Structure 1
Amino acid sequence: MKTPVASLYLSMFPRRFCNAAILLGCLTTAAMAQETTGTPVADAPVYRVGDRWTVMYGKTAIAETVVSVTAEQTTITESKNGGAPYEAVFDSQGCLTRSGNTTYEPSLGSLSFPMMVGKSWDSHWVVRNSSGSHENDAHVRVEAFERIEVSAGSFDAFKIAMRGISVWTQTGLSQAPWAATYWYAPDVKRVVRSEFSQIHWGGSADFEVSAFSLAP
């Protein structure tokens, strides 16, 4: 709304970047409410067929289009630099469950609604594809509601911090900690910027939304 969305998926990046899928996997809703205290609250995802985003990972452009919406899931097509499209699927919370032939079981868990500053949760998922599988655990916290400037414009957004660890049991690599910070803008229905790093490997996979068009 899931990094990109996005995408930052195993099929598109070296394995050390696989967890960055969290960020593009962050599709979300444009609906906002106000609590009696005035604290902003974001409702659960609402998408329409034809919603579009362009996400930039450096010089790599990912074009995303919503093609199907049900009560249980949202399906989008994604294309890297104009290449062959593939499908990505998100659950009712806007969390990634599948990208191409890679699954995230039960989902990335990078979003939780209703969203508000101070909310936190834990997430566990397993990534599976033709190369094998690995497990992930993360703690997520909504830290602030602030203005952020990206290529697509300036937006009010929730700043979310996610800290986790990936565990491989098949390749001899036991544990790899990582950290992500991302901003979800309700008016754009997704994360508009993310910063991701593998702590030990020194890898990163940042992105931001460069353009978007929402269906009426």
Structure 2
Amino acid sequence: MSANAASFISTARALAAVALLSATASTAIAADAASLPAPVAQPAPPLAEAQAPAFAVGEAWTFSYENALEPAKNATYAQSVSSVAADGSPTLNGGAAALDASGNLVKNASGSYQPSDGKLQFPLFVGKSWSASYVYRAGSWAARGEREAKVVAVERVETSAGAFDAFKVEQVVSWSGTEGNRGQGVTRETDWYAPSVGRIVRMEYVDQAAHAASTTTRVELAKFSAPQ
């Protein structure tokens, strides 16, 4: 065998050995990778703070209303944004209802609040508390309300419209009639505000008027649609 032939055979054997080692290494790496657990999706970070919602024409919400004392009043009602003022406050259902820029109720078919019902005050974060005063008018009756509210937690809340990450707000309202059939009482309320839809998605409250039976009311989001 010539020196050139011997050199060629030696080189070929060396290259074959390298190829075998590379294949073996690749196989081992692939086996190790296959044995590793699949990556786990990380949960979204919890809500830390919510700014005031940005309402848009065409947004729509449907709510279910249940009153334990007067079930004949149980119903669903829909709200859609007809226009948005320069300060961000929306008009709903062609002017039949209105919210302030924070989503607090100013008026609906039942009555009006001056300046608003004050249920929300932004930014929201756990530990925040606030006070709000308002006058509510319904026909010939009027009452003054004094609200104390506090954000106590962030919770995942289930509704007919789905599950939402929400700020849980506990509230107490002391109210007293100032006109008409006066009366007075205390309302204890828990609200869950979901930033993803810009509204309170669940509301539970017990209204206790003096010398009368308490009444429990629940309001829950049943449907939400964004502008098209």
Map Cα deviations across residues 33-77 of structure 1 (whole Å, 9 max, x no partner): x9xxx7611111201111011101135110111111123321111
Deviations 1:114-155 (A, max 9, x none): 111110000100012322211000100011011111111111
- Asked whether the 8 Å contact 1:192–1:209 carries over to 2, the reply is yes
Structure 1 length normalisation: TM-score? 0.74
Task: Give the RMSD, CA atoms, in angstroms.
Answer: 2.0
Q: Distance in 1 between matches of 2:158 and 2:190?
A: 15
User: Larger RCO: Structure 1 or Structure 2 (Cα < 8 Å, ≥ 6 residues apart)?
Assistant: 1
**Residues 72-119 of structure 1, C-alpha deviations (whole Å, 9 max, x = no match):** 321111xxxxxxx86111112221122247221111111001111110
Cα deviation, residue 210, structure 1: 1.0
- TM-score using structure 2 length: 0.70
What percentage of residue pairs aligned between the two structures are identical?
Answer: 35
CA distance in 1, matches of 2:134, 2:145: 5
Distance, in Å, in 1 between the alignment partners of 2:97 and 2:181 is 29
Aligned with 1:76 (options 74, 83, 92) = 92
Q: Given that residues 61 and 225 in structure 2 are in contact (C-alpha distance below 8 angstroms), is that contact kept between their aligned partners in structure 1?
A: yes
1-structure distance, mates of 2:104, 2:180: 27
CA–CA separation in structure 2 for the residues paired with 1:171 and 1:129: 10
Residue 170 of structure 1 deviates from its aligned partner by: 3.6
Is 1:105 aligned to 2:114, yes or no? yes
CA contact (8 A) 1:71 1:92 kept: no
Q: How many residues align?
A: 173
Instruction: Point out the structure with max Rg over C-alpha.
Output: 2
Q: Provide the rounded CA distance (Å) in 1 between the counterparts of 2:110 and 2:171.
A: 25
Which blocks of at least 5 consecutive residues in structure 2 are unaligned? Answer: 1-44, 67-73
Decide which structure has greater helix share: 2
Which one has the bigger strand percentage?
A: 1
Would you say the 8 A contact 1:86–1:100 is kept in 2? Answer: no
Q: Tell me, which stretches of 5 or more residues in structure 1 are unaligned? A: 1-33, 78-84
